[in-house]
Amino acid sequence: MPMDLYQLLRTCTSTRRLRSLHALLIISGRIHDVFFPTTLINLYSRLSDLRSAALSFSRTPNKNIFSFNSIIATYIHHGLPLDAGYCFKSLLLAGPRVRPDEFTFPVALKASLDLKYGKAMHSLVGKLGLGWNVFVSSSLMRMYSRFGAVRDAEKVFVEMPERDSGAWNAMVSGFCQNGMADDAVRIFSEMVTEGVRVDRITIASVLPVCAPLDDFLLGVSIHVFTIKQGLDVELFVSNALIDMYAKLGSVESARQVFDDMLDRDLVTWNSIIGAYEQSGNPRTALQLHSEMQRSGVQSDVLTLVSLASAVAESGTVRSGQSVHAYITRRGWEADDIIAGNAIVDMYAKLGKVELAQRMFDKMPVRDVISWNTLLTGYSQNGLANEAIEIYETMEQHEGITPIQGTLVSVLPAYSHVGALQKGMRIHGQAIRIGLHSDLYVGTCLIDMYAKCGRLNEAIVLFEQEVPRASSGPWNAIIAGYGIHGHGEQALSIFTQMEQERVKPDNVTFVSLLSACSHAGLVDGGQRYFQVMQSKYGIRPAVKHYACMVDLLGRAGHLDAAYGFIRTMPIEPDSGVWGALLGACRVHGNVELGALASKFLFEIDPENVGYYVLLSNMYAKAGKWDGVNDVRSLARRRHLQKTPGWSSIEVNNKVNVFFTGNQSHPQYEDICKEMVILLAKMKSLGYVPDYSFVLQDVEEDEKEHILSNHSERLAITFGIMNTTPKTPIQIFKNLRVCGDCHNATKFISRITEREIIVRDSNRFHHFKDGNCSCRDYW
């Protein structure tokens, strides 16, 4: 009996057994039974034996539509749309006896690789009169949605003679996948009001739009709805709920759903691990991963990507390397670009930029995110010049267009080194790709213009371009006024911010307090330190305390500053003591300076800047024992001075000078020019101040050291390479040395140049032998 044979075939669990039964069918001649070829294709397909399936198909003498449908489905299910498309074409050429039917299209449509092909399929459906079938029409809708043609999908939906839940679902997910969240929700509500049966697929399709809409209430009401319908027990639904709650910021609700689940699959675990990782609980994420392993669920590449992010936030380089090794072992780093990017990001966040770079170099394919990740890695590890280099290399690679994140990463690097012309080029780029009014890009542009000395451009952007409903742009412009010494304007911007009801955050007050400090507005600073707490409920962080110490100290209230530190409810850090030490240096209070140094040498013993400051103070006061003590302490601790560097942008090229670095091609010429300048300066009364030389060397060597300071090299280079009497703008990574500060005053007078120096602290505008800077050295 043939039925017995079919049943026997269906019980095959190995392709070997199936093949021997197949041979038996051929020998016995039973293979000519019309049902066998199709059954065999389907069974081989189920056992993933594509070769045998294809062979059965090609050996079928009179192929009927069942055989065609099965072989097409086989290829689609095994991810081979090209082969499926080929079979579909041969079906069309097979003659009038076999034609595609309503079973063919739902599968065959998945083989369409572009909209044009899909539209041809649609017109074929019309010619064959198959549009009445819900499966066919829903599949057409999915095809259109896949290529972004949601309106065409909607047309099919509207014109369908009858619609089942699947058709409605196709409409909901079509809108969702094309980012049309409002329409998706609209269709979903229509479904409910028209009494169409909502199933787990509807829910799993519509839940992901709650997060982009930022609509927590919608999410909760859908959740309630699923409970009423008894759909909350469905795995897909629960998984989507976890993700929805996590993305809307409620990890607790996500956890509640997770805890209530009876079955969990890989997606469940990935979602909850991702939820904790994204919400700043990397440790919990790592714990959950161990729990997942204990419950016997195998990780996939998505798990590892979340794990890499969690390790980046809280892990060690060791655990980072084991995540990396796991990904390599599974072969994911070669064929998953996201996994590669995650590793680059992880190493960069762990401070291992070399390892990040090595991973980046190894990646076979890179996208714009890969470049962004590496760029941000350099930038956030303080390697602005390297970040810039990466950006410029990226620009030379065709086919990579910068996105928001690219500009947001590269602009601070340009701000950092004071590369105005390059920054302006990015501004142009932002305009071209329509991102110049973007909140984040705009904020970075404001910051860039302010830090590159163009406060006016920053103001224009703030006033006219950038959306100002959130604190970011306000913080940037307040800080901009601050570093340029315009404290009053910074305060008035803050007043305006309050009037426009924009909520200030902790960054706002850091900017505001430091603006007060630079401008000597002691009362204002103290008032806003109170306002921050009483009116806005922001508890001062250590950064705010450092600003206050700076504010009091700079203004000469050294004892008040010290008293303020004594009453701090939190542990003062190096920023706080450093502010006090800096103030002591300015006002010549050696004892208090020594006290501050004592703390600094404990908290931050590697930072050589503090040793330099203290030594300078002793030198200025003529306390040579003190100088020697500090120097030998620094030597004992094997401290090397942070390499100081200055940069100047000439003809769109950034020239970087390191202190004492003689490798610049024009070094010889710069030295000659410097000798001439120095003679003129001395004739006008310039006397080198050797207290700024930490090295223990002879006097004439000291003069050589001072004139090899990076800022001096950069300024001289600028004088030689720019039009006479035009302004010169320099950037220095550390604070400008006091002797260079004095020297620059003379240089500005001799060369009749305006010289603008931005150092790690503020702007100095030198003009006619004076400096705008309120601090004295």
Residues 307-326 that bind DNA (CB under 7 A): 309
Count the Cβ atoms, other than its own, within 10 Å of residue 765: 17
Query: Distance between CA atoms of 197 and 341, rounded to whole angstroms?
Result: 42
Q: Is residue 560 within the footprint of DNA (CB under 7 A)? A: no
Residues numbered 561-620 forming contacts with DNA, rule: CB under 7 A? none
Partner residues linked to 654 by β-bridges: 649
Q: Which of 84, 140, 176, 479 binds DNA (CB under 7 A)?
A: 176
To DNA, the closest distance from the beta carbon of 354 in angstroms equals 19
The separation between CA 200 and the C-alpha centre of its own chain, rounded to angstroms, equals: 34
The separation between CA 730 and the C-alpha centre of its own chain, rounded to angstroms, equals: 29
Q: Is residue 70 within the footprint of DNA (CB under 7 A)? A: yes
Q: Is residue 39 within the footprint of DNA (CB under 7 A)? A: yes
Residues numbered 7-36 forming contacts with DNA, rule: CB under 7 A? 34-35
To DNA, the closest distance from the beta carbon of 547 in angstroms equals 33
Q: Is residue 339 within the footprint of DNA (CB under 7 A)? A: yes
Residues numbered 371-400 forming contacts with DNA, rule: CB under 7 A? 373
Contact segment (CB under 7 A) with DNA among 19-27, 235-243, 286-294, 703-711 equals 235-243
Angle between helices 368-380 and 384-396 (to 10 degrees): 160
Q: Which of 57, 88, 106, 222 binds DNA (CB under 7 A)?
A: 106
Q: Which of 166, 453, 525, 582 binds DNA (CB under 7 A)?
A: 166
Q: Which of 85, 118, 274, 487 binds DNA (CB under 7 A)?
A: 274
To DNA, the closest distance from the beta carbon of 530 in angstroms equals 39
Query: Distance between CA atoms of 138 and 56, rounded to whole angstroms?
Result: 31
Residues numbered 284-303 forming contacts with DNA, rule: CB under 7 A? 300-302
Query: Distance between CA atoms of 307 and 130, rounded to whole angstroms?
Result: 48
By beta-carbon proximity to DNA, the closer residue of 18 and 339 is 339
Q: Which of 110, 289, 468, 741 binds DNA (CB under 7 A)?
A: 110
Cβ-based neighbours of 220, under 8 Å, separated by 6 or more: none
| Contact pattern from residue 191 through residue 230 relative to DNA, giving x for each residue in contact according to CB under 7 A and a dash for the rest | --------xxxx-xx-xx----------------------
Q: Is residue 370 within the footprint of DNA (CB under 7 A)? A: yes
Contact segment (CB under 7 A) with DNA among 162-170, 556-564, 574-582, 686-694 equals 162-170
Cβ-based neighbours of 260, under 8 Å, separated by 6 or more: 238
Q: Which of 49, 234, 457, 649 binds DNA (CB under 7 A)?
A: 234
At 756, which helix (H) or strand (E)?
Answer: strand 755-758
Q: Residue 476 corresponds to which tokens in the numbers above?
A: 């940037």
Q: Is residue 333 within the footprint of DNA (CB under 7 A)? A: no
Query: Distance between CA atoms of 726 and 729, rounded to whole angstroms?
Result: 10
Contact segment (CB under 7 A) with DNA among 11-19, 187-195, 239-247, 681-689 equals 239-247
What is the strand order of the sheet 728-732 is part of?
653-658, 645-650, 728-732, 755-758, 763-767, 770-771
Q: Is residue 164 within the footprint of DNA (CB under 7 A)? A: yes
By beta-carbon proximity to DNA, the closer residue of 237 and 592 is 237
By beta-carbon proximity to DNA, the closer residue of 271 and 429 is 271
To DNA, the closest distance from the beta carbon of 264 in angstroms equals 10
Q: Is residue 101 within the footprint of DNA (CB under 7 A)? A: yes
CA torsion angle 501 506 508 513 (round to 10): 130
Q: Which of 284, 306, 716, 751 binds DNA (CB under 7 A)?
A: 306
Query: Distance between CA atoms of 415 and 740, rounded to whole angstroms?
Result: 23
Contact segment (CB under 7 A) with DNA among 104-112, 280-288, 563-571, 578-586 equals 104-112
714 sits in the region (left: phi over 0; alpha: psi -120 to 50; else beta) called alpha
Q: Which of 21, 50, 55, 65 binds DNA (CB under 7 A)?
A: 65
Query: Distance between CA atoms of 299 and 281, rounded to whole angstroms?
Result: 20
∠ at Cα 702 (700, 704), nearest 5°? 75
| Amino acid at site 317 | V
Q: Is residue 436 within the footprint of DNA (CB under 7 A)? A: no
By beta-carbon proximity to DNA, the closer residue of 270 and 406 is 270
Query: Distance between CA atoms of 742 and 546, rounded to whole angstroms?
Result: 27
Contact segment (CB under 7 A) with DNA among 249-257, 272-280, 531-539, 563-571 equals 272-280
To DNA, the closest distance from the beta carbon of 113 in angstroms equals 16
At 770, which helix (H) or strand (E)?
Answer: strand 770-771
Q: Which of 49, 102, 232, 711 binds DNA (CB under 7 A)?
A: 102
Long-range contacts, 131-136 (Cβ 8 Å, 24+):
131/159, 131/160, 131/161, 132/161, 133/102, 134/160, 134/162, 134/163, 134/164, 134/166, 134/167, 135/102, 135/105, 135/106, 135/166, 136/102, 136/105, 136/106
By beta-carbon proximity to DNA, the closer residue of 274 and 482 is 274
The footprint of DNA on this chain (CB under 7 A) covers a number of residues equal to 77
Cβ-based neighbours of 360, under 8 Å, separated by 6 or more: 340, 344, 366, 370, 373, 374
The separation between CA 614 and the C-alpha centre of its own chain, rounded to angstroms, equals: 39
Q: Is residue 270 within the footprint of DNA (CB under 7 A)? A: yes
Q: Which of 22, 42, 52, 449 binds DNA (CB under 7 A)?
A: 42
The separation between CA 119 and the C-alpha centre of its own chain, rounded to angstroms, equals: 38
- How many residues are recorded in the chain? 777
Q: Is residue 57 within the footprint of DNA (CB under 7 A)? A: no
To DNA, the closest distance from the beta carbon of 472 in angstroms equals 22
By beta-carbon proximity to DNA, the closer residue of 167 and 565 is 167
Q: Which of 178, 284, 341, 409 binds DNA (CB under 7 A)?
A: 341
What Rg value do the Cα atoms of the chain yield, rounded? 35
∠ at Cα 764 (610, 388), nearest 5°? 80
By beta-carbon proximity to DNA, the closer residue of 306 and 655 is 306
Query: Distance between CA atoms of 747 and 766, rounded to whole angstroms?
Result: 9
To DNA, the closest distance from the beta carbon of 325 in angstroms equals 18
Residues numbered 117-146 forming contacts with DNA, rule: CB under 7 A? 133-136, 138-139, 142
Q: Is residue 667 within the footprint of DNA (CB under 7 A)? A: no
To DNA, the closest distance from the beta carbon of 194 in angstroms equals 15
To DNA, the closest distance from the beta carbon of 165 in angstroms equals 5
Helix (H, G, I), strand (E, B) or coil at 655: strand
By beta-carbon proximity to DNA, the closer residue of 67 and 647 is 67
Residues numbered 689-718 forming contacts with DNA, rule: CB under 7 A? none
To DNA, the closest distance from the beta carbon of 646 in angstroms equals 34
* Cβ 265 vs Cβ 277: under 8 Å: no
By beta-carbon proximity to DNA, the closer residue of 339 and 450 is 339
Q: Is residue 409 within the footprint of DNA (CB under 7 A)? A: no
By beta-carbon proximity to DNA, the closer residue of 257 and 546 is 257
Cα distances from 42 to residues 15, 20, 57, 99, 106, in angstroms, run: 12, 16, 10, 20, 17
Q: Is residue 170 within the footprint of DNA (CB under 7 A)? A: yes
To DNA, the closest distance from the beta carbon of 160 in angstroms equals 10
Helix (H, G, I), strand (E, B) or coil at 162: coil
